[in-house]
Amino acid sequence: MEHRNLGNSGLKVSLVGLGCNNFGGRTDLEGSRRVVHKALDLGITLFDTADIYADRGGSETALGNILGERRKDIVLATKFGMPMDEAGRLRGGSRRYIIGAVEASLKRLKTGWIDLYQIHRPDPATPVEETLRALDDLIHQGKVRYIGCSNFAAWQAVDAQWTSAHLGLNRFIACQDELSLLVRDIERELIPAMKSHGLGLLPYFPLACGMLTGKYQRGAAQPEGARLSYMPELAGRYLTEANWAKLDRLRAFCDARGKKLVELAFSWLAAQPLVAGVIAGATRPEQVEQNVAAASWALGAGDLAEIDRLTGTA
């Protein structure tokens, strides 16, 4: 397993990470345990979750019950900021909320520290200075090692980095955002901003909610239990004519080289300069094996230029 530094920090993560959003929810405790153990066996060190996953706390609780002594062997990343109650009061990036949220996550995860603590989305109701000062305090207290952001616009990420530098606070080291062969929006503004400010990238939805696995076929019934089969809002976003056309072109690219679509999806992300670890979910150990194996295709400059053309970004 290849390991890379996350941004300009000294934190190293595995190129293929494990997204833990299914743990404690779609995947029960024993199923989650099998997936975690397979990931550990294959050299995965980046485990990413969030307090909101699996009905608010289920994923963190499952990980806390599973890891045990292996906690020290991994980079444990979690997120805060999404609503943790029906009324929407337990949310955001205020100092008051963050101090309580981190303690709750530490308790569920059964750990004394979080390696990467990420704000899940911007909080327009709280000045970024307040959020950053609270996170800086957590680092000085030893409860958090590094901090990051997720789903920030380019200007918000830059504003946070400038604020930290201006005030002498610990800075975000990474952004966690959606990036795949079918969703490349962040390349326009966010990635150039990240490059300028030393931020690493942890892409999520690397397979575009399964579109890049080949499980979905144009005009065919959706697979039972697949994410786009039970989440119509996502289905409407991904199952578009433009994406089907891109998939046809990408499949032809892979067929001509004796490769699979999933190999292209992971290996293309691995070839992106700012990508440190790809967040890939799994509900079965076999999927973890597939994800790890898929990242081994070394794409050349000519391949990457052709992929840009095929996905309409060249």
Asked if CATH classification 3.20.20.100 holds for the domain at 3-216+261-299, the reply, yes or no, is yes
- Residues 186-194, mean pLDDT to the nearest whole number: 98
Q: Does 103 score more than 80 pLDDT? A: yes
Catalytic residue among 53, 97, 204, 216: 53
Rounded Cα gap, residues 218 and 183, in angstroms: 18
Q: What are the sequence ranges of the domains in the chain?
A: 3-216+261-299
Residue 165: what pLDDT?
A: 98
Quick one: CA dihedral 224, 227, 231, 237, positive or negative?
A: negative
Rounded Cα gap, residues 56 and 78, in angstroms: 13
DSSP conformational letter for 212: G
Q: Does 232 score more than 90 pLDDT? A: no
DSSP conformational letter for 8: T
Rounded Cα gap, residues 259 and 90, in angstroms: 46
The SS3 assignment for 266 reads helix
- Residues 129-138, mean pLDDT to the nearest whole number: 98
As a whole number, the mean pLDDT across the chain is 95
User: What contacts 301, CB < 8 A, 6 or more positions away?
Assistant: none
Could you give the percent of the chain with pLDDT greater than 70? 96
53 noted as active-site residue: yes
Residue 235: what pLDDT?
A: 73
More confident residue, 237 or 8: 8
Residue 226: what pLDDT?
A: 66
φ, ψ of residue 99 in degrees (nearest 5): -60, -40
pTM of the model: 0.95
